[in-house]
Amino acid sequence: MPGKLKAKIVAGRHLPVMDRASDLTDAFVEVKFGNTTFKTDVFPKSLNPQWNSEWFKFEVDDEDLQDEPLQITVLDHDTYSANDAIGKVYIDIDPLLSSEAATVISGWFPIYDTIHGIRGEINVLVKVDLFNDLNRFRQSSCGVRFFCTTSIPLCYRAVVVHGFVEELVVNEDPEYQWIDRIRTPRASNEARQRLISLMSGELQRKIGLKVLEMGGNAVVGYLQCFDLEGESGLVVRAIGTACTLEKLSGGGATNNAQHTANSSPSKDMKESPKACMSGCRSSHSSPVHGAASRLAQSFSVSYPTLLFSGMGSGGSAGKEAGPLKILLRQQTQTALEQREFPFFTLTSFPQGFLLHVAGVVSARSVKLLDRIHNPDEPETRDAWWEELRQEIKSHARALGCHAVVGYSESTSICEEVCILSASGTAAVLNCRFLQDGCLDVLSEHRCDDSAPPGCGFCHVPYDELNMPFPAQLSPCCCCHRTKVPDVLFTTIDLPTDAQVTGKGCLIQARLCRLKKKSQGEGNATCISNLLPFLEYELHTQLLNKLKLCGMNALFGLCIQISVGENMLVGLASATGVYLSALPSPGGIQIAGKTPNDLTYDQHVSSIQRKINDTIVKNRELYEIHITEVAEDVIGSPIPEPRQRSRLFRSHSESSDELSELDLSHGKKDAFVLEIDDTDAVEDLHSLLTDAPTPPGFYSCNTEIMPGIYNWTSAIQMFTSVRVFRLNNANLTNLGLNKIFNELCENLLKSLYFKLRSMVPCCLCRLNFTVAVPEDELIQVAVTAVAMSFHKDQTQEANKAAQAHSQMKAIAETEEQLQFPLELNAESASPLSPKGSGPQDGSNSHGRAPSVDYSSFADRCSSWIEQLRLRAHTIRRGSIKTSSSPLPEGRSRSLRSTRSFPGSSVSVVKMTPLSFIPGAKIVKYLGIINMFFIRETTSLREEGGVSGFLHAFIAEVFAMVRAHVAALGGNAVVSYSMKECVFMENPNKNQAQCLINVSGDAVIFTRESDQEGHLPQTSHPQPTEDTPP
């Protein structure tokens, strides 16, 4: 009996009128945990009852404490008929089970009803007394901390990073049980909410047990997902990175992450019993294969996709892995090798942890769902994921990497077909770290490591002679010692010490493909046949857009493929940047098929000019000022049509058909776009229709935007959802693409307009999710945070070193010396860039010139002004150098006093980022993981679908805030909306929506603004979250 849970019901307010006659309510409360229920007295005739109940005590196992939520039901007493339920509150008490998290839950919770939404509030107090349980065979894992944050949490340091943990539990979906036919929608929704809450609790407990076995005490980068498989059941699965964390005492909590929190995964991790051998376990089956396996009630089509940057195709990953592996062995006889899955869900790392990054590895497989017969043995689902992970692992090996970072998994389900996807970034981690497990290594490592900090991670981990695929390698532009690829795609955040030129921007590839409606196997085969093309085209689009932006690397790449009845929708988002270490990207050449026609030539050249202009404009916009290396012609808009292939998928041996296709592409130059080709017209269209972000706005889908450091405290998290109906039955791929593209573009435009008063600002962690909820519907949901920054870059320049905690001292000084000495392409005519371009010497200047964004249009027009600006930059550069880097953290420049004025409701900030600008996170209170269902049978009365969803999302926000406030917190970081399933039936006036959100509840404090002489530019009111 290791725990005692105590709950007290204090009061209610704003209750709904339940008795029409008196316009009042006779409310009482049921408090339920496990199978025990307590009741308060009835508080008659009041909409603001004061129960002030005794302490209800539940004596329970800690296993139950972890699994079960505390369930509070508010009812209206009725003497003659059954009591009417007003609504419920589920409280996850997990945060109370760890000594370091919250100690009490106390506050006002919205009373939620799945049919009516929020109906008043209830004030509740909850405490837990835990007794120590030393039983070694216990089933509980109390005290293991969970973090959604995909980096080492800010006030902790990682002693050991143990590695990958995963688990999944399955159950029948209550909505599909026979009983659902006779119970009310409310009962069914509540059964579902409760079940999912129980399953998440169980999942966490099980993962916690794994972590304890490994010797860890926390899970970082915890990612939990639901698969609503419909008839075949409900799957809740989670992955994360097990760590041993140590709380940092006091001081520099804001800037600890990179300086103190180095981590060293230990090798003595426990091997899971089902561990399989290293090496390529080929799980790839051709469609034909899959059909055969139908016998086993499970149709499985899996085809490998290996995406990476700057590398051509051709070779099969599997074949070339051999020689490489030997090479790898020489380098690293590491603990990682012994692991089943050397995966890390983290996306940013302590300094020195990440040695090299090779590129994105991803794998998808198409499965036919079957009924899960025994919920306790979810073997099939486990096996599916294991297969996929093995594939990822072998892809990583083929790239000469022993680890996968920024790893994530996702599914898309339509009827009985399910696409499982896994992706990550193949990387080489510091083997010293892995072996020694000793913290002092960090300093040593800095001195003797051969890779310079700013560019080391770009260096290819494979040997040039033993490349797994033809790729274009060139010497590193920073250190000139090692080879780098010409483009780099990753799923991780930009490493903190990376040297970046200019700013970054959001790059999206969008694609729709029609598909025949079909059932079962046929459907699965059809989808798996389409997938490679979809992925290939997304990739082409990404690369083209990247070039159009004048950039050479993608971070935070996330490719989603959603399946619907009659189409597949692909959306790839990433943040493009110009990595100083990588060569300058080439241009895009347009070619026509009938070169002798004069008008045609004109047409071609006009498009060509348009593209060239766009590149020049984008470079200006993102402040990418490069001086070309003399012998390289890369900067030229019209590169020599040599074979510089870069974007190809590699295929495993099993998909012969695909390899062929690949080869044919390999013969062409990927960047010569032939406009006679319909595909190319499409590409071109999508290239040129992307509207630039309006002045003052930047956007990215990563944690931080390179080039912007001086955030103000004004942040605004938002969720926006759009559903588009395609009424036209005879759509072509082309038309569909156009619609989808416009949908996304218009959504972005709306966001910019909405947030216009926050300018200058950056939309960070722009997270798009697409779904095809019905036949002719496309749903796009976006969650992101808009953060204002001070536009005065002059002031910032000096502060940048201090302001941006993640900027490393050495890198900074180096960068300061790299201001350009001459004018370059941007000021000259785009037609003759060669003349002005080539200068030797430094190749980048890292900081934005001291101009504010608004003046920038004038800026490019004037040659003289250019000169002046350069001078300015140079002058400033020297000031910067003398001021010497201060690795003190962003604290210095961002202080601002802030008080929350006297409202009875405390302000809770929400952000998808892991930090809050200008603030210090002092405590993590626990994970927030909530699942809500809302249903209505009076859709029109609630303002139609928009009114319904608007209210629901606002309610979800409110409930998250209330839970955080009750834990004593004032913010949620790493917030994400992982699921938003919306279904409607306008004819029946009905709609239903499911939302799953998660994040970390934290307490933050503002640093007082005493020394920081902030720019006098518009500084938002300290008390206001939104712009004035």
Partner 1 sequence: MSVELDVFVGNTTIMDEEVYQLWLDGYTVDDAVAVRMEGGALQVFEASMEVLHSDTMDQFRTFQMCERLLYYPSKLTNQLLFQIPPQKQAMLIERYYEFDSTFAREVLGKKLSKGTKKDLDDISTKTGITLKSCRRQFDNFKRVFKVVEELKGPLVENVQHHFLLSDALARDYAAIVFFANSRFETGKRKLQYLSFQDFAFCAGQLISNWTVGAVDNMMEDMDVDLEKDFLHNLKELKILINDKDMLDQHRNLVCAQLRGKITVFGEMEANFKNLSRALVNIAAKLTHTKDVRDLFIDLVEKFVEPCRSDRWAIGDVRLFLTHYTSTAHSLDSFRYQQIWERYMGVIKSCILKMYHD
Q: Which residue ranges make up the site for partner 1 (CB under 8 A)?
A: 13-14, 108, 110, 118, 121, 694, 716-728, 739, 746, 749-756, 777, 779, 901-905, 907-910, 943, 945-947, 949-951, 953-955, 957-958, 961-962, 982, 1021, 1023-1026
Measured from the CB of residue 401, what is the shortest distance to partner 1 in angstroms?
Answer: 39
Specify which residues 50 forms β-bridges with.
11
Contact 787, 711 (CB under 8 A): yes
Could you count the other beta carbons within 10 Å of the beta carbon of residue 830? 17
In whole angstroms, the minimum distance from the beta carbon of 743 to partner 1 comes to 8
**650 secondary structure, DSSP code:** B
| DSSP three-state, residue 923 | strand
Per the structure block, which two tokens stand in for 705? Answer: 């935007």
Identity of the residue, 595 or 902, whose beta carbon is nearer to partner 1 in the bound complex: 902
- For residue 925, which of 160, 153, 293 has the smallest C-alpha distance? 153
273 or 902: CB nearest partner 1? 902
Task: Report the nearest approach of partner 1 to the CB of residue 875 (Å).
Answer: 34
Nearer to partner 1, 33 or 952 (CB): 952
Distances in Å between the alpha carbon of 154 and those of 151, 344, 596, 1002? 8, 18, 63, 11
> What is the 8-class DSSP label of residue 104?
-
The C-alpha atoms of residue 145 and residue 158 are separated, in whole angstroms, by: 13
Nearer to partner 1, 344 or 698 (CB): 698
| CA–CA dist 880, 766 (Å, integer) | 32
* Dist. CA 690–CA 704, nearest whole Å: 23
Q: Are strands 553-563 and 488-489 parallel, antiparallel or unpaired?
A: parallel
Q: Which is nearer to partner 1, 205 or 510 (CB)?
A: 510
* Beta carbon of residue 48, minimum distance to partner 1 (angstroms, whole number): 11
Q: What separation in angstroms does the CA of 369 have from each of 227, 234, 345, 415? A: 11, 11, 26, 9
Residue 93's identity, in one-letter code, is: I
542 vs 953, beta carbon nearer partner 1: 953
Least distance between partner 1 and beta carbon 697 (Å): 9
Least distance CB 899 / partner 1 (angstroms): 11
Q: 3-state secondary structure string, 660-676? A: HHHHHHHCCCCCEEECC
Shortest separation between residue 116's beta carbon and partner 1, angstroms:
13
CB nearer partner 1, residue 13 or residue 138: 13
Q: How far is the CB of 574 from partner 1 (least distance, A)?
A: 24
Nearer to partner 1, 462 or 752 (CB): 752
- Rounded to 10 deg, the angle between the 379-398 and 317-331 helix axes is 70
First-last CA distance in the chain: 54
User: Least distance to partner 1 from the beta carbon of 573, Å?
Assistant: 19
DSSP H helices in 557-655: 598-621
Distance, in Å, from the CA atom of 26 to the CA atom of 42, rounded to the nearest integer, reads 6
As a whole number of angstroms, the distance between CA 88 and CA 848 comes to: 53
170, β-bridge pairs: 235
CB of 205 to partner 1, least distance (A): 30
Residue whose CB is less far from partner 1, 756 or 875: 756
Neighbours of 590 (CB within 10 A): 23
- CB closer to partner 1, 179 vs 905: 905
Secondary structure letter of residue 693 according to DSSP:
P
- CA 540-494-781 angle, 5° bins: 65
* Contact present, 15 and 49 (Cβ < 8 Å): yes
Count of alpha carbons within 13 Å of 40, Cβ hemisphere only?
29
- Degrees, nearest 5: CA angle 233-235-238: 180
d(CA 157, CA 162): 14
- Residue 360 or 717: the one with the smaller Cβ distance to partner 1 is 717
- What's the closest the beta carbon of residue 387 comes to partner 1, in angstroms? 37
CB of 695 to partner 1, least distance (A): 9
| Angle at alpha carbon of residue 129, lines to 128 and 131, rounded to 5° | 135
Smallest gap from Cβ 841 to partner 1, in A, equals 40
- Residue ranges of E strands in 441-534: 473-475, 483-485, 488-489, 500-514
Q: Which two tokens stand for residue 288?
A: 């034909």
CB of 954 to partner 1, least distance (A): 5
Q: Which is nearer to partner 1, 680 or 739 (CB)?
A: 739
**Least Å distance between CB 630 and partner 1?**
40
Comparing CB distances to partner 1, the nearer of 708 and 747 is 747
User: Which residue, 472 or 783, has its beta carbon nearer to partner 1?
Assistant: 783
Q: Point out which residues pair with 112 in neighbouring strands.
A: 88, 118
Of 254, 148, 331, 337, nearest in space to 887 by CA: 254
Contacts of 428 (CB under 8 A, 6+ apart): 331, 332, 354, 355, 356, 357, 358, 400, 401, 402, 403, 461
Closer residue to partner 1 in complex, CB, 251/901: 901
Q: Which is nearer to partner 1, 542 or 959 (CB)?
A: 959
Q: Report CA torsion sign: 280, 283, 288, 289.
A: positive
Closest CB to partner 1 among residues 861, 903: 903
Nearest approach, Cβ of residue 945 and partner 1 (Å): 4
Both tokens assigned to 1023: 């008390």
CA distance 259 to 247: 14
Q: Which amino acid is at 695?
A: P
For the bound state, the minimum distance from the C-beta of residue 33 to partner 1, rounded and expressed in Å, comes to 24
Taking the complex as a whole, the smallest distance from the CB of residue 1013 to partner 1 amounts, in Å, to 26
Closest CA to 325 of 363, 373, 278, 273: 278
* Distance in angstroms (rounded) separating the CA atoms of residues 425 and 581: 19
Residue the block writes with tokens 């400033």: 876
Q: What DSSP element (H or E) covers 682?
A: helix 678-689
Of residues 110 and 637, the one with the C-beta less far from partner 1: 110
